[in-house]
Amino acid sequence: MPIIRASSGIITQINVFTVPDGGQQPLIDLLTESAAFASSVPGWMSASIHRSLDGTRVVNYAQSESLEASQRIIDRLRLEGFLERNKRLGQASPGLYEVVCTLER
């Protein structure tokens, strides 16, 4: 389960993909496969995959225990060819983030 808490040290990778018409499900399938593979890498915590209601975007929200773990996961995904396969299915805009503020009701 994702943890969204300020100053936790958790690193979140948010990757917004823009996909062609009809491209959401193939990318969702690949991201699901990628997450299952990455889950065995030490430091991996969670992955949540979202699809936009207008059919144009897919968002991958993945968390790891540290920046080092994030890099280890990215390196393993690259080595196994997942990142190259992602590029064929959508235009990616990745970034690594840390939570600085949360508000709840």
CB under 8 Å to 43, separation ≥6 — which residues?
Answer: 64, 65, 66, 68, 69, 70, 72, 73
How many domains in the chain? 1
pTM of the prediction?
Answer: 0.91
In a domain, residue 68? The reply is yes
In a domain, residue 105? The reply is no
In a domain, residue 1? The reply is no
What are the pLDDT digits (tens) for 17-68? Answer: 999 999 999 999 999 999 999 999 999 999 999 999 999 999 999 999 999 9
- Residue 32 sits in which domain range? 11-98
CB under 8 Å to 17, separation ≥6 — which residues?
Answer: 27, 57, 58, 59, 60, 86, 89, 90, 91, 92, 93
Residue 72: give its domain's CATH number: 3.30.70.100
What are the pLDDT digits (tens) for 72-94? Answer: 999 999 999 999 999 999 999 99
